[in-house]
Amino acid sequence: MSGHTESGLPFEPVYGPEALEGWDPEKQLGQPGDYPYTRGVYGSMYTGRPWTMRQYAGFGTAQESNERYHQLIKAGTSGLSVAFDLPTQMGYDSDAPIAHGEVGKVGVAIDSIEDMRLLLDGIPLGEVSTSMTINAPAGLLMLLYQLVGESQGVAADKLTGTIQNDVLKEYIARGTYIYPPAQSLRLITDIFTYCRDEMPRWNTISISGYHMAEAGATPAQEIAFTLANGIEYVRAAVESGQDVDVFAPRLAFFFVSRTTLLEEVAKFRAARRIWAEVMRDEFGAKDPKSMMLRFHTQTAGVQLTAQQPEVNLVRVTVQALAAVLGGTQSLHTNSYDEAIALPTEKAARLALRTQQVLAYESDVTKTVDPFAGSYAVESLTDDVERAARELMAKVEELGGAVQAIEHGFQKGEIEKAAYQVAQEIDNEERTVVGLNRFQLDIEDPYEPLRVDPAIEEQQCERLARLRTSRDQGEVDRQLDALREAGQGKDNVLGPMKAALAAHGTVGEVCDALREVWGVYRPPDAI
């Protein structure tokens, strides 16, 4: 009897040659590292070296997060990934009334260049690649990183890393937006231009399906809406006069990896194939790097349970294996205790060890694309691709990703999928071990990591000292220059960097652009 995948597609109990009738291996597969990159964006993949093990971390003060980064580097992580608190993500300083109660809670609080210096203290920025999960104020945090790099003597063109910088998915699934879509797209294209000239090794955007998946998107929805957003960014850059083969090689993506291993592998393979075709045929890209869908993966936080949290170690292992078999370029493995609180040091280390066991003790790194030619996976790859393309076509019919967002299309589709999963769990049609089956009468005690509420007061005191010690006239002049650039057509990154270098704060810089660009109000909130 047939079942169904997470995307609602048929899942057959047995697959054979008939599942691939009319299938052209050369066209749909190719060789690893060759168009359409179904089998991976690099010819050798992990047979040369493993993926980048990039553990996402950040909490409390910059100093506390810095200590965690040094622990992760000592444990063998090969790339940093910074989590910012909610006020920083929204472009507010820690002493803003709206920030009260949220400072340092879900990430590190960064208010100024002084915090960024503390965050990166003792970390050689010329040697470490850093990813920053930041969107609306992404340009600011990247510039602060550049300023700290310069103070270490590292030239901007030697810095490597990624800013998420994907605002469209914020309107769909997450909500940490600031400016309206048109102004957000302008800021993103300004970042593309700035990095082309100043930071050519920096990945200017990580187009994210992860957060849509966490909100309930199916695998097909996740890649469809992510790639549709990617198309919108490419169009905006091309319309601003940029050459697709100059900026497109620096585009990166970010996906989730669920416990449904076979469909996740198929999803990653389908996404690579679709993107390669879009970039070649729609945008006329000639550079192979412009067609390569390079992506970071994070295991599925939404699938972790607070009940029997140790079971999450098993879930994360399966999810990580799916990402590796699907050909990810970098990977974060969630800690088993994240459904309860911020990860403890031990839990974070175990999450990293999970990746290291896969890389160094299993044999999955010994061959490229282990599932190539599998009747089941090749059939699932085609099925996910078809479903994703149908959704992408609907987005196009509505006028593209921004217009579809204004219609509430993506959000509505994701909410329907999330509701269906919730019903299946409640009705026990879907098993979640420890939650609706195989429960324990009494859970083992667990002591979570807690953020000291005094952090907010400490950050406010740091801001007060900063404002009394800086040259306020210089800050005001630079903020005025930023407002002028925002009202005109000049790139805003230059004056933004000058304001930050003068010890302007994240909130002050964001406020300057709020004054001239306004803020976004979603249609269902009006």
Domains of the chain, first to last:
36-426 (3.20.20.240), 455-525 (no CATH)
Report the pLDDT value the prediction gives residue 526, as an integer from 0 to 100.
44
Q: What is the dihedral of CA 413, 418, 421, 426, to 10 degrees?
A: -140
State how far the Cα of 106 lies from the Cα of 396, in Å rounded to an integer: 35
Q: What pLDDT, in 10s, does the model give residues 468-509?
A: 999 999 999 999 999 999 999 999 999 999 999 999 999 999
- Here the tokens at position 15 are 């697959």
149-151-157-158 Cα dihedral, nearest 10 degrees: -60
- 3-state SS class at 337: coil
pTM (two decimals):
0.94
Question: What gap in Å lies between CA 417 and CA 430, rounded to an integer?
Answer: 14
Give every residue of the chain whose pLDDT is below 70, as ranges: 1-2, 524-526
Predicted local confidence at residue 188, as pLDDT: 97
* In contact, 37 and 292? CB cutoff 8 Å: yes
DSSP string, 88-132: HHTT--TTSGGGTTTTTSSSB---SHHHHHHHTTT--TTT--EEE
CA nearest 302: which of 6, 91, 4, 524? 6
| Contact present, 229 and 190 (Cβ < 8 Å) | no
DSSP conformation class of 344: P
CB 252 within 8 A of CB 290: no
Given a contact cutoff of 8 angstroms between Cβ atoms, the answer to whether 38 and 269 are in contact is yes
Residue linked to tokens 């879509």: 181
Token pair 């991976």 in the structure block, residue: 40
3-state secondary structure of 253: strand
Token pair listed for 395: 């987005």
pLDDT for residue 15: 94
The answer to whether 145 touches 159, Cβ cutoff 8 Å, is yes
